[in-house]
Structure 1
Amino acid sequence: MKSATTVEPEGMIARIMLAFLATAGLFYVNIMPAIVSGLIDSLGFSRADAGLVASFNIYGAAIGALGAVFIISRGNWKPLAMALLFGLMAFDGISMWVTDPLTMKLVRGFHGILGGTLVGVAFAVIARVSLVHKTFGYLLFVQFGLGGLGVMFLPPLAPVYGTSALFLSLIAFSAVSLIMLFLLPAYRVEDVPKPTIGGEVRWRPLCAALLSVFLFQAANMGLYAYIIDLGKSYGLTLEFISPTLGISAWAGLVGAWLVIVFSTRFGRTYPLFIATTLTLLATIALHYSASQSVFWAANVLVGITWAFCIAYLLGICAEFDKEGKMAALGGFASKTGLASGPLASALVLSSGEYTVLINVAAIALAGCLFICLYPTRLLDKLDKTVQDGVS
């Protein structure tokens, strides 16, 4: 149902605005290399402290995303989203003045709780829109497009203007998302169709999907948070690394676009299997980062496949119900993975080298590759049954 002051509920503009809303709660993840590098270079944080700031921020988001599972079906979601956006801007403003590692961890942890709740709410609303994979494709399109700008232009600003430049960019994004919020429809639960999977939630395939999301995000973020320092350790310069990361993030637009075009036209199993395999191969290639061409190619390929795979994985979680609770639970698994990656990296780097970290990430991706086959094949089979029944 569309009012005179809102956009078409199933239209492209609405999907883009929902993508901005979901991105606002976690946009710092898309510029995480810039934040980690800025904390090390501008504030003198150690590698471990900088990585733990990232982990606190995203673990807070995981707590918020889990809380969203229990509150999303209660009342109107739009006033809650508005309050959360104001809270995010407040904590980003406070972060501009913090110079102590422990205080920064606490502030970013509370920021993460608000951001994770917002993402959980947004994911639940996205689950109420038809062609959920397509909407997640728009989400990744926004994240990787703007994230590319962030990792390209923000790292050089941090040594000059300090971390304030990083947190101001987050405040600006939240402000834009707040304006868009007023134009979105209500998306009431009672107005949406029944879920694809039907009946009671099937917990075994859902848990497999959630574990796949966790492993995929942990493996990728564990490397991505330190990718600037990783490149430097192999002798690459910041002047080469920053544009490379910007291009790789923009390459993610290709992955997001492919999700929008494909949706479930070719099912879920084969696209995910191929894309996750490519992610694994690109990760292993980081062992040869001393070569600029290898570092460039590996990051660009991961940019494409990261956007592609996570859109499908989150879409799979969302298809287990249309109230939005399972989509919010998928958000919780995603945030937990994103937080665990930098934490594991901080522990590995305290006693090892980037070679060990790359191997750990590759093992996690291999686990994701095999575990995700169960829920994807189940949903593909159900789709085929529905199509045969209709025909």
Structure 2
Amino acid sequence: MTRAASATPAPRIVPASGSLWLYAGLALLATAGFFYVNIMSAIVDGLVTGLGFSNPQAGMVGAANIYGASVGSFIAVLLVRRLPWRPALIVLLTLLVLLDLISLVVPSAPLLTGVRALHGVFGGMAVGVTYSVMARTRSPDRAFGMLLLVQFGLGGLGVMFLPTLVPTYGTAVLFLSLAALSTCALVVTFTLPRLAGTDSDTRHGPAPLTRSARNTAALTLLALFLFQAGNMALTAFIIRLGEHFQLDRGFIGHALGWATWIGAAGAVLVIVMGTRFGRLRPLCIATLITLAGTAAFFRSDLGAVFFVANVGTAITWSFVVPYLFGMLSRLDASGRLATLGGFVSKLGLGSGPLFAGYVLRANDFTPLIAAAIVALALAGVAMFLAARRIDLLEPIA
């Protein structure tokens, strides 16, 4: 018996199926709830170039969307065990489509900020409900890996083509793409089978976490917040960063699209590897690559360096996040801790653009890149400590 044995969670509720097709369906549902995060750079750039918003205004709209999602995720933490997941998702996805369509006719920054904040609330609830289902599947690490694979695959399309369409079709193309994805997810909701152990069940509450498990969960949540904030601070303004270094707009769009698609390889690695090599060693390697890739943005005046930096950070982003959610699921098989992780993740994603928007008042990207490196380094320390503890909970297999 190891010294971490006291943190061993309750046995996992295994659903009727743990196939990759099931994981793909759940991944699409979760992606629809916050796909705007994956195309945040296109949205921020579109608001600046299409509607004439300032950098702080565009950053505020993006931040409001994500902070609203944080509120929705927190609500999901409180209600997820009381709601039947399928009816809840049908209602929430329908509301997302309506709010995306409303966003088409809102021209002012303050009003659009409010609409997107409300959109975020419903989207965050939808993601939280889906996360609770994914956390109780047979392999949460692989389930969340599939989520990142879907996000990066669709996100690559978004960042490659949407910025080039905004000058012709305006910002409407951004919100129409979000509405289309939510509509597809709504259809998928009706096709998924009923999954044993994932529907609402109030008869048994989640087992309380031990002190060791709570400390480990706190470290994991801290790592998740800092990792998401550090990455999103740059990602939200990555198109502006490229233009600041006088890169061609067409090159930037294609570089980001290809980098996002290649970045999905990180999620594929998680799906293939699972926890075969534990979590500590893979996360150590990924963090070092993340720091090197982020530092490379200092030389974004070189197109090849800009592209490689985006590829490296995209791969590690899609690699690290599934492991962090898998760690939370390992500590709490009920799914509530993973849902809480969704709340903290969105706080980090929202804090990145908000912080970056104000740092960039002088359009100097050097302080922003440096701040992102510090946040990612601190995230690495927290995730190392958490992964070391969680690796003691189970044999490496």
| TM score, norm. by length of structure 1 | 0.93
Structure 1 residues 361 and 84, CA gap change in structure 2 (3 angstroms): same
Answering whether residue 343 of structure 2 is matched by residue 367 of structure 1, we say no
Answering whether residue 33 of structure 2 is matched by residue 25 of structure 1, we say yes
**Structure 2 spans left out of the alignment, 5+ residues:** 1-14
Deviation digits for residues 306-342 of structure 1 (CA, Å, limit 9, x no counterpart):
1001111111112221221101001011100000000
Structure 1 residues 353 and 89, CA gap change in structure 2 (3 angstroms): same
Give 1:129's aligned residue: 137
Give 1:217's aligned residue: 228
Answering whether residue 244 of structure 2 is matched by residue 236 of structure 1, we say no
Query: How many positions carry a matched residue from both structures?
Result: 379
Give 1:144's aligned residue: 152
Deviation digits for residues 207-231 of structure 1 (CA, Å, limit 9, x no counterpart):
1000000000000000000000000
Structure 1 counterpart of 2:348, one-letter code: G
In structure 1, what is the Cα distance between the partners aligned to 2:209 and 2:103? 45
| TM score, norm. by length of structure 2 | 0.92
Structure 2 counterpart of 1:149, one-letter code: L
Q: Percent sequence identity over matched residues?
A: 46
Structure 2 counterpart of 1:17, one-letter code: G
Answering whether residue 99 of structure 2 is matched by residue 91 of structure 1, we say yes
How big is the shift at 1:13?
1.1
In the TM superposition, 1:194-273 aligns within 5 A as: 202-273=213-284
| Preserved CA contact (<8 Å) 2:18 2:139 | no
Give 1:350's aligned residue: 361
Structure 1 residues 325 and 369, CA gap change in structure 2 (3 angstroms): same
In structure 2, what is the Cα distance between the partners aligned to 1:78 and 1:228? 37
How big is the shift at 1:186?
3.3
Give 1:387's aligned residue: none
| Preserved CA contact (<8 Å) 1:221 1:342 | yes
Give 2:310's aligned residue: 299
Give 2:337's aligned residue: 326
Answering whether residue 392 of structure 2 is matched by residue 381 of structure 1, we say yes
In structure 2, what is the Cα distance between the partners aligned to 1:49 and 1:191? 41
How big is the shift at 1:277?
1.2
Answering whether residue 131 of structure 2 is matched by residue 120 of structure 1, we say no
In structure 2, what is the Cα distance between the partners aligned to 1:90 and 1:20? 19
| Preserved CA contact (<8 Å) 1:197 1:320 | no
Give 1:4's aligned residue: none
Of 68, 78, 86 in structure 2, the residue corresponding to residue 78 of structure 1 is: 86
| Preserved CA contact (<8 Å) 2:97 2:182 | yes
In structure 2, what is the Cα distance between the partners aligned to 1:258 and 1:265? 11
Deviation digits for residues 5-25 of structure 1 (CA, Å, limit 9, x no counterpart):
xx9621111110000011010
Deviation digits for residues 48-80 of structure 1 (CA, Å, limit 9, x no counterpart):
100110000000001101110010000311111
Give 2:108's aligned residue: 100
Give 1:36's aligned residue: 44
In structure 1, what is the Cα distance between the partners aligned to 2:178 and 2:143? 22
Question: Could you tell which deviates more after superposition, 307-316 or 177-186?
Answer: 177-186
Deviation digits for residues 336-384 of structure 1 (CA, Å, limit 9, x no counterpart):
0000000110121125610000000000000011111122111111113
In structure 2, what is the Cα distance between the partners aligned to 1:65 and 1:336? 10
Deviation digits for residues 105-136 of structure 1 (CA, Å, limit 9, x no counterpart):
00000000000111111111101101110011
Deviation digits for residues 64-106 of structure 1 (CA, Å, limit 9, x no counterpart):
0111001000031111111000000000000011110001100
In structure 2, what is the Cα distance between the partners aligned to 1:19 and 1:343? 27
Give 2:3's aligned residue: none
Give 2:326's aligned residue: 315
In structure 1, what is the Cα distance between the partners aligned to 2:208 and 2:38? 32
How big is the shift at 1:200?
7.7
How big is the shift at 1:172?
0.8
Deviation digits for residues 137-180 of structure 1 (CA, Å, limit 9, x no counterpart):
11011000010001001101111101111111111111111111
| Preserved CA contact (<8 Å) 1:189 1:323 | no
Structure 2 counterpart of 1:120, one-letter code: G
User: Secondary structure at 2:193's aligned position in 1?
Assistant: coil
Q: CA RMSD in A?
A: 2.2
Of 144, 169, 182 in structure 1, the residue corresponding to residue 177 of structure 2 is: 169
How big is the shift at 1:197?
11
User: Secondary structure at 1:374's aligned position in 2?
Assistant: helix
Structure 1 residues 165 and 174, CA gap change in structure 2 (3 angstroms): same
